Amino acid sequence: MPHPQNSHRVINPHYEHRQLIMMVTRACQLDCVYCQFDRTKPPMSLETMRASVDLLMTARPKEVRVQFFGGEPLLRQDLILATMEYADAAAKKAGKTVVYIITTNTMALTDELRAKFDKRGVIWILSFDGDIGTQDSQRPVRAGGTRFISALEQIRRIAASGAPYLVNMTATPAHADHTKRNAMLLLDAGVRAISFGNRMGEDWTDERAVTYFQNLQSLLEEAHRRDLKLFVLNSVGRDEPMIVSPTPTVDCDGTVYVGSVIPPLEKLLPNV
């Protein structure tokens, strides 16, 4: 496949797009209750990943970003590393710099692999929902058992390493009253950057919504009381999941979406 499908081979010059999400693979070790992915598609080919890089290099900004997403992208770390090599060369030729972002559940992450990516200045987006009850009920391991302790330890190490990172927590109505407790677990582990997302495809009652935002307010007050510098993204719910967002996403088969939320919604909205 020489170029991603549905693209015009050039990013619209009227928009300051600087980031492209690559759906490396839809495979994952977890079976999250809120994930609506169709996992039958094969992983992205290296050819498609290179074509995606070529597309990104048509963007006007001098600094561009590649976000490796999934599924669990680190299941195909070979593709990620090969794409980074290609993107570095393409960026040099285009007079640009490229920043890499990896969204991961940390299960495939080792100290050796993390060090390799840290040398490239990778920004980590770490998916983690909270205490062992919340984590294991919302993000169960397909093979059984729990990876709660190892996931929390990887997050702790990244937070202490000085590498740029963000922990992404998905809140659900069932665990709305655990929001502060789950975040405090991360604060005690040294985390200072948390993004809160809401479960897609499920209605929140007014009662659950109020509980959720009361927990967020109490969390911020506690962080202030402890004199902790805490960055909270989406603390007032202004970033609700949308069908269309400004960030282009290339799916495993090369299909281009304007908005990374479309694939996760495909089981709920099969005709989109």
DSSP 80-136: HHHHHHHHHHHHHHHT-EEEEEEEE-STT--HHHHHHHHTTTPEEEEE--SSHHHHH
Q: What is the mean pLDDT of the chain?
A: 85
Lowest pLDDT segment from 11-15, 60-64, 95-99, 116-120: 11-15
pLDDT at 262 > cutoff 70: no
Comparing CA positions, the residue from 247, 241, 198 lying closest to residue 23 is 247
Which pLDDT belongs to residue 197? 79
Give the pTM: 0.87
Which pLDDT belongs to residue 16? 54
pLDDT at 98 > cutoff 80: yes
Q: What is the rounded distance in angstroms from the CA atom of residue 28 to the CA atom of residue 10?
A: 31
Which pLDDT belongs to residue 230? 76
Range with the largest mean pLDDT of 14-28, 83-97, 191-205: 83-97
Which pLDDT belongs to residue 133? 94
Read off the amino acid at residue 55.
L
Stronger pLDDT, 14 or 32, i.e. the higher one: 32
Cβ–Cβ contacts within 10 Å for residue 166, how many?
Answer: 17
The helix (H) or strand (E) run that includes residue 194 is strand 193-198
Q: Which residues of 119-129 are buried (b: 16+ CB within 10 A; e: fewer)?
A: eeebbbbbbbb
